[in-house]
Amino acid sequence: MNKKILIAIIIFLICFFNPIKISFAQDLQITADKVILMEAETGKILYKKNAYIKSYPASTTKILTAILALENSGKNEIVVPNDDVLNINNGSSRIYLNPGEKMSVEQLLYALMLPSGNDAAIALADHVSESIESFVTLMNYKSKELGANNTHFVNPHGFHDPDHYTTAYDMAIIARYALKNHDFRKIISTYKYVLPPTNKFDQERRWINTNKLINPESKEYYPKSTGIKTGYTSVAKNCLVASASNDNMELIAVILGCEKDMFSQARALFEYGFEHYKKLNIVNKNKIIETVEVYGSESKTVDIATEEDIIDVFPKENSDSIYHVVDIKDDITAPIKKGEILGRVTYHIGNENRTVNLIALNDVEKKNLINIVKPKKELSIPAWVLIILILIYIPLRIYIAIRRKIRKARKIRRF
């Protein structure tokens, strides 16, 4: 076989099948039932296992409860719980909140996300929506708005109910949204919180975060961890929605239906992501790619730039081999409006590619009579008056000449 043909076939097989990339995930020892690993900024999925299969979220439900409380109330607002906080299921995690016990929204959020108080969830739901039912309606509306289409909630805390379900993928996109909130981030990254005495409780209460990944006193501590929430019921088993950050990349790991070792499996997922993937800022919005000639314009050229950012995550093995191909319309002609699409540019990274539109950065006017006579330097008012008079005089003289020819022709016909 011709040597050149053999080399071409080998290169094609390497690029097309990408065996290096496939082998990454084979090294992971993940025993949990439903799992996903997602990059937080882009939403790119780096690993998945039964990620779209129905599962029970247990107390990871409280991620959505927390973000809805932050978005629909002030963190310094005072909450006065009613008797609903006493009506929680046996076996629920609780902070022993008393009816009439005054706490701020922020304090209840710590109670919700660290010791995972179901009574805190009920107090927040009543405060935001005046009833549990109304709050649950808000939860389901928000989850659908975010794209969590295989999720349905029936309570704000996650105590087991057959109609209270989600998927690993849905929990990842809910967590991805919640991480955009600064106050949410502060709470979920706190491993210990001390609540001062209240009007109903005369002693401090100390809460330790159930997420051992962020607890420096725990053997499960993972220094790169940034949050988020654990959960458990006998039906849901161990559940974890966790986040971790390294360099410029933050990852979200969701583990549902786990028998044991969910924290070590989360660490393994994070290390897999950080070791094998890299986030690239390929191009910034409004980056000028080319300056091209514009036919029939006064300015002659227009700057063509990218319409949006391209930020994505790629295997590290491919991140150094980037080139781009520009495709711009032929014979660009004025007029052109700012933002008008004039082409596109495609960036090739390994065997993947990303395309973005190319747009005009400014308006380009069509050349006309005013453009032609417009001087390079600013003229005085008398000069402009003279130009205007000339522009009026010339068509007037043409009109008079035409009228004279018409009259002369009529006289000739009479004779």
Percent of the chain with pLDDT over 90: 67
pLDDT score at 380: 74
Active-site choice (116, 129, 225, 243): 116
Query: Given pLDDT bands bounded at 50, 70 and 90, which one contains residue 409?
Result: low
Active-site choice (62, 212, 237, 279): 62
Task: Assess contact for 277 and 249: CB atoms under 8 A.
Answer: yes
- Decide if pLDDT at 346 tops 70: yes
Give the count of beta carbons closer than 10 Å to the beta carbon of residue 395.
9
Between 49-58, 142-151, 383-392, the lowest mean confidence (pLDDT) is in: 383-392
Per residue in 47-92, pLDDT (tens digit) is 999 999 999 999 999 999 999 999 999 999 999 999 999 888 888 8
> Higher pLDDT residue, 78 or 365?
78
Task: Assess contact for 71 and 127: CB atoms under 8 A.
Answer: no
* Orientation of helix 3-17 relative to helix 19-26, angle to 10°: 40
pLDDT score at 256: 97
The answer to whether 234 is a known catalytic residue is no
Rounded to whole angstroms, the Cα distance separating 312 from 341 reads 23
Query: Given pLDDT bands bounded at 50, 70 and 90, which one contains residue 93?
Result: very high
Taking phi over 0 as left and psi of -120 to 50 as alpha, with beta for the rest, 383 belongs to alpha
pLDDT score at 227: 97
Section 258-268 average pLDDT: 95
Rounded to whole angstroms, the Cα distance separating 89 from 59 reads 13
Cis peptide before 216 (omega within 30 of 0): no
Section 352-377 average pLDDT: 75
Query: Given pLDDT bands bounded at 50, 70 and 90, which one contains residue 311?
Result: very high
pLDDT score at 6: 46
Section 149-176 average pLDDT: 98
- Coil, helix or strand for 330? coil
Q: 275: which residues sit within 8 A by CB, 6+ positions away?
A: 316
Query: Given pLDDT bands bounded at 50, 70 and 90, which one contains residue 4?
Result: very low
Between 17-21, 198-202, 304-308, 318-322, the lowest mean confidence (pLDDT) is in: 17-21
> Higher pLDDT residue, 242 or 397?
242
pLDDT score at 76: 97
- Decide if pLDDT at 221 tops 90: yes
pLDDT score at 399: 80
pLDDT score at 330: 86
Q: What is the rounded average pLDDT for all residues in the chain? A: 88
Section 345-360 average pLDDT: 90
The answer to whether 59 is a known catalytic residue is yes
Per residue in 223-256, pLDDT (tens digit) is 999 999 999 999 999 999 999 999 999 999 999 9
Active-site choice (55, 59, 93, 129): 59
- Decide if pLDDT at 20 tops 50: no
Task: Assess contact for 220 and 245: CB atoms under 8 A.
Answer: no
| pTM for this model (two decimals) | 0.80
43 phi, psi to nearest 5 deg: 80, 10
Query: Given pLDDT bands bounded at 50, 70 and 90, which one contains residue 413?
Result: low
- Decide if pLDDT at 12 tops 70: no
Q: 360: which residues sit within 8 A by CB, 6+ positions away?
A: 302, 303, 304, 336, 337, 338, 339, 340, 342
Query: Given pLDDT bands bounded at 50, 70 and 90, which one contains residue 406?
Result: confident
Please give the full DSSP string across 222-257, using - where no structure is assigned: -TTEEEEEEEEETTTEEEEEEEEEETTEEEEEEEEE
- Decide if pLDDT at 268 tops 60: yes
